[in-house]
Amino acid sequence: MARIKSDSPPLPEPPPTRKFRPRAWLSVVGLIAFGVGAHFLWQYSAATISRSPQYLLTSEDIHLSPQPPWIRTDVKARALRDANLVDNLSLLDNWDELARRVKDAFQFQPWIASVQRITRKLPRSLEVEVTYRKPVAAVESSDENGVMYLPIDEHAVRLPEGDLTEAERRYLPRISNITGRPLIGDRWNDERVIGGARLAVLLADVWDTLRLVEIIATQQSSSDSLKTSFRYELVTTGGTRIVWGTPPGNETPGSESPFNQKRQRLLEYAAQHGKLESIDGPAVLDVRTELVVTPRTARHKPQVPKDAATQTK
């Protein structure tokens, strides 16, 4: 009888049995053991190695944004000293931790508004980019120790007065009649100072032209007894008082003009009449809703007795 072939494929052959190779496994175990041992060895010796002179960052290795001319203090040296970072930073330190320590050290300095970026440069240096504070006004502050002119920035943060001379502080726009004072580097928690700083910043480009010297804030009555509001006045070198009203951005629509309209009224009057800084200027200029001018009282020359007039000829 003939044999019939099957159409089904042949069964696959079983995979070869892997042989146990002790040398290969010993090599793998050895590598793992070496890695673990190296890790623990580094953890044990990292602190010592990272403090070696070749890895330590000195003050010369840290480059800070150039200081503006009104800052005479060495901000970098003071920041590193105050934070105890002198000879205490290493290239081998964890980068996130290193950057945080450097940022905190500079952010704490009163002359620095913010730390923008910290960059590590090869072979061994750090670039620290910061934004500095700028004095925009001086607060005439009085306490039991007397009167002081304390510089502030645009956010009413008290700045170190020792960097500025007495003449420089007196030349800044002056915010008067303020009592008490915060610590250096802290913000003045006083709406009169905050609003005055805002006015000084926005009028900085015309401050000298208009011969302005002083900003005075007085409390004004409000229908809301829980809210204290202030009215601001500007004073020129000649004694002219400019009634400004509420600080920029706080104007009530319909009852007081916005900042730009007040500014324009003042500039137009000065361009047409001038003499805001002299005794011949007006006594009061009210720019709150429209320009209202109050002239000075006429000054009468004292009469000289005839005999005295004769003697002076």
The Cα–Cα gap between 194 and 180 comes to: 14
All residue ranges of the chain with pLDDT < 70 are: 1-54, 221-227, 277-279, 298-313
Please indicate, yes or no, whether residues 176 and 127 belong to a single structural domain of this protein.
no
Measured CA to CA, the distance from residue 195 to residue 248 in angstroms comes to 8
- pTM of the complete model: 0.76
Whether 190 and 208 map to the same domain: the answer is: yes
Strand locations in 92-159 (E): 112-121, 125-132, 137-143, 146-152
**Residue 35: Cβ-neighbour burial (10 angstroms; 0-12, 13-18, 19+):** exposed
- Please provide residue 140's backbone torsions phi and psi, each rounded to the nearest 5 degrees: -85, 95
Longest dimension (CA), the chain: 171
Mark whether 147 and 290 lie in a shared domain: yes
Query: Angle of helix 95-107 relative to helix 75-82, nearest 10 degrees?
Result: 120
Could you give the C-alpha distances from 64 to 124, 211, 219, 273, in angstroms and in order?
A: 15, 37, 43, 49
Distance CA 180, CA 203 (A): 26
Neighbour-count burial of 243, counting CB atoms closer than 10 A to its CB (0-12 exposed, 13-18 middle, 19+ buried)? middle
pLDDT at 263: 95
Q: Of 132, 165, 180, which residue is a domain's last?
A: 132
Question: For 7-24, what is each residue's pLDDT tens digit?
Answer: 556 656 666 665 556 666
**190 part of a folded domain:** yes
Q: 248 lies in a domain?
A: yes
Do 280 and 151 reside in the same domain of the chain? yes
Tokens of 260: 């730009």
Separation CA 312–CA 45 (nearest Å):
96
In a domain, 53, yes or no: no
Q: Using alpha carbons only, what angle is made at residue 195 by residues 223 and 274, rounded to the nearest 5 degrees?
A: 105
The domain boundary, picked from 132, 152, 187, lies at 132
Last residue of a domain, one of 104, 132, 160: 132
| pLDDT single digits (tens) 61-100 | 999 999 999 999 999 999 999 999 887 888 778 889 989 9
Spatial CB neighbours of 214, under 8 Å, sequence gap ≥ 6: 173, 174, 175, 176, 234, 235
Domain extent for 75: 59-132
- In total, how many domains does the chain have? 2
pLDDT at 313: 36
